[in-house]
Amino acid sequence: MHIDARTLPNNTLIEGDICIIGAGAAGISMAMEWMNTAYKVILLEGGGFQYETQMQDLYKGKTTGQRYYPLDAARLHYFGGTTGHWAGFCSVFEKIDFEKREWVPHSGWPIKREDLDAYYPRAQKNLDLGPYEWDYAYWLKQDPTMLSLPFDQEVLYNKIWQFSPPTRFGDKYKDAIVKSANVHLYTYANVTNIGANENVSAVKEVTVKNFAGKEHTVRAKIFVSACCAIQNARLLLASNKQAPKGLGNDNDLVGRYFMEHIEIKSAEMWLPDPDPLKLYAIDFGKTKWRAELGITAKAQEQHRILNGTASFTPLEIARKQPAFIDSFTADRGESMRNWKKRGHKDEQPAQKKGYASYQLFTRVEQAPNPDSRVTLDTEADALGMPRADLHWVLTPLEKRSIRTIYEIIGQQIGAASKGRVRLLEYLWDEKNDSWPEFTGGGWHHMGTTRMSDDPKNGVTDANCKVHGISNLYMAGSSNYVTAAAPNPTLTLVALTLRLSDHLKKQIGGGV
Ligand SMILES: Cc1cc2nc3c(=O)[nH]c(=O)nc-3n(C[C@H](O)[C@H](O)[C@H](O)COP(=O)(O)OP(=O)(O)OC[C@H]3O[C@@H](n4cnc5c(N)ncnc54)[C@H](O)[C@@H]3O)c2cc1C
């Protein structure tokens, strides 16, 4: 069922069993899980069904620290959320990604990789991925021409990626939600405040506003915030009427540990003979799977480095491409609307005979860092909500990890006499911790309401429930403790399905 919140009489009271805030990858995945159940689900989406400049403006915010994308260019504010822009790169987190690594400060999740094992296959279906197979050996059997670079498997491995078409959640799931009898989707329903009970131990209601000047109240037994990492933090911090530091923020952790993947060109590789590197190539829109070079858990531990992967783009193509960080900075309204039309053709398949030189491109996790954080700006948006202020901070560990990854790859490629690897200049000086101007993120927002069993270390518990608030949950990558090497969406959908199963047990038991 669909209701445009602008058309309701002012001050309407909306009531249901579960209230999901935000209809992106996480919010829609959650809503679909509750379809055709006995429960009344309220799905609140701030935007409508299309991109609107006025709506997007609500995402504007300040950025300081490491240069970052304009916040309103890094997320989409309408039904389907940022899946309207995402590129569909997917891979699974590894066992080590959940562990406490003593060389990575603030690492260690309260859950293990096995806790997501049952949910990844379900998440893959939501994202229209292939089989739940992530070992190179399986994929080599499907296509024996996908040959690996030569390397020591104790040090490097072929990390498999699968590609979503990419699934646009707003297109794929709209009909089912609009036709549903028990999922009540409200568009133009921007949540501007989460109101708690008297002793701030439970959420009582949320306030919804829109540009028609209407304000409504939503009450439910359970509330799930699925607005993505920056907006999840902003919403908690802005809900500061009863809890002056913001809801769930007694320990000053909401908004902290914001993480991105650093996506950056890092090295060049020359081969004596042209090679298409077929296993590592991508033809955008057609490639269903490929590999990137991953660093084994053993090598990460031995070198005390973060997790990351390397991909290969023919040098002659790569040299013509702008850095990610320079995309979407000028004329961004137009480029954002036209992203789908433009396609995402910034990577090309290798020619039949291949290329003799490649650029090596890194995706490395950022070490969790309390100083990398989202706070509230003094300026408010058009609905009166303080804007987000992102202070993105990197640490020397990220840079050392990238340098080490390419030293390892260079040694391996050289030892096998396959070719030669040259690190880019910015990695040469071990004492230089600065970052070049082309340093960018992957548009992956993580952290800000990190999980921990201990309220002094995290905002949510192992079930994504906000510590100290009995019925408020965070869905999505804001729960991440560490970022791992892969892009976040597959794992955040898996985590959301896990949360959904947990909530079904909770509500069944009468929350
Ligand atoms: C250019 C680009 C490329 C990307 N490529 C990849 C990729 O290849 N692989 C990958 O894994 N990830 C990729 N991502 C990231 C991916 O898009 C996100 O991980 C994913 O969309 C996050 O899902 P989400 O539901 O948490 O947030 P979103 O998809 O952003 O959805 C949040 C929803 O909440 C709504 N909302 C926000 N605030 C409020 C409020 N106060 N009240 C009501 N509603 C609200 C929004 O309108 C939106 O619908 C990419 C992102 C970008 C920008």
Kindly state if the Cβ of 84 falls inside 6 Å of ligand 1: no
> 30 CA to middle of ligand 1, Å?
14
Average pLDDT, stretch 13-28?
Answer: 98
List, in order of start, the domains of the chain with CATH numbers.
1-86+168-259+371-391+446-511 (3.50.50.60), 130-163+261-365+395-434 (no CATH)
Atom of ligand 1 nearest to the CA of 231: 38
Q: What local confidence, expressed as pLDDT, does residue 349 receive? A: 54
Kindly state if the Cβ of 87 falls inside 6 Å of ligand 1: yes
In this prediction, residue 353 has a pLDDT band, given cuts at 50, 70 and 90, of confident
In this prediction, residue 333 has a pLDDT band, given cuts at 50, 70 and 90, of low
List the structure tokens of 489.
Answer: 């969406």
The answer, yes or no, to whether residue 54 has pLDDT greater than 70, is yes
Kindly state if the Cβ of 78 falls inside 6 Å of ligand 1: yes
What is the residue with the minimal CA distance to atom 45 of ligand 1?
22
Atom of ligand 1 nearest to the CA of 22: 34
Kindly state if the Cβ of 74 falls inside 6 Å of ligand 1: yes
Q: What local confidence, expressed as pLDDT, does residue 365 receive? A: 98
Q: What local confidence, expressed as pLDDT, does residue 341 receive? A: 45
Lowest mean pLDDT among 82-96, 297-311, 351-365: 351-365
> 82 CA to middle of ligand 1, Å?
3
In this prediction, residue 511 has a pLDDT band, given cuts at 50, 70 and 90, of low
* Ligand 1 site-directed mutation target among 78, 385, 489, 496, most atoms within 8 Å of CB: 489
Q: Which of 500, 508, 404 is nearest to 155 (CA)?
A: 404
Kindly state if the Cβ of 386 falls inside 6 Å of ligand 1: no
Percent of the chain with pLDDT over 70: 95
Bridge-partner residues for 275, per DSSP?
355
Q: What local confidence, expressed as pLDDT, does residue 345 receive? A: 47
Bridge-partner residues for 218, per DSSP?
14, 206
List the structure tokens of 391.
Answer: 């202070």
In this prediction, residue 350 has a pLDDT band, given cuts at 50, 70 and 90, of low
The answer, yes or no, to whether residue 465 has pLDDT greater than 70, is yes
User: What amino acid is encoded at 318 in this protein?
Assistant: A
Percent of the chain with pLDDT over 90: 92
Q: What is the mean pLDDT of the chain?
A: 95
The answer, yes or no, to whether residue 335 has pLDDT greater than 90, is no
Atom of ligand 1 nearest to the CA of 29: 25
pLDDT tens digits, one per residue of 405-449: 999 999 999 999 999 999 999 999 999 999 999 999 999 999 999
Cβ neighbours of residue 260 closer than 8 Å, sequence gap 6 or more: 68, 366, 392, 441, 442, 444, 445, 446, 483
In this prediction, residue 103 has a pLDDT band, given cuts at 50, 70 and 90, of very high
Q: What local confidence, expressed as pLDDT, does residue 343 receive? A: 41
Q: What local confidence, expressed as pLDDT, does residue 331 receive? A: 46
In this prediction, residue 508 has a pLDDT band, given cuts at 50, 70 and 90, of confident
Helices then strands, counting H and E runs in the chain, come out as 15, 21
In this prediction, residue 327 has a pLDDT band, given cuts at 50, 70 and 90, of confident
> 229 CA to middle of ligand 1, Å?
9
Q: What local confidence, expressed as pLDDT, does residue 113 receive? A: 98
Q: What local confidence, expressed as pLDDT, does residue 330 receive? A: 47
Average pLDDT, stretch 472-499?
Answer: 98
Measured N-to-C along each axis, helices 25-33 and 489-508 cross at an angle, to the nearest 10 degrees, of 40
> 416 CA to middle of ligand 1, Å?
42
Residue positions counted in the chain: 511
> 25 CA to middle of ligand 1, Å?
7
Q: What local confidence, expressed as pLDDT, does residue 336 receive? A: 57
Atom of ligand 1 nearest to the CA of 55: 47
Kindly state if the Cβ of 46 falls inside 6 Å of ligand 1: yes
> 491 CA to middle of ligand 1, Å?
13
* Ligand 1 site-directed mutation target among 79, 82, 490, most atoms within 8 Å of CB: 82
Q: What local confidence, expressed as pLDDT, does residue 342 receive? A: 42
Average pLDDT, stretch 285-299?
Answer: 96
What is the residue with the minimal CA distance to atom 2 of ligand 1?
86
Average pLDDT, stretch 71-83?
Answer: 97
The answer, yes or no, to whether residue 346 has pLDDT greater than 50, is no
Q: From residue 111, how far is each of 451, 452, 461, 486, 496 by CA, in Å?
A: 9, 9, 10, 18, 14
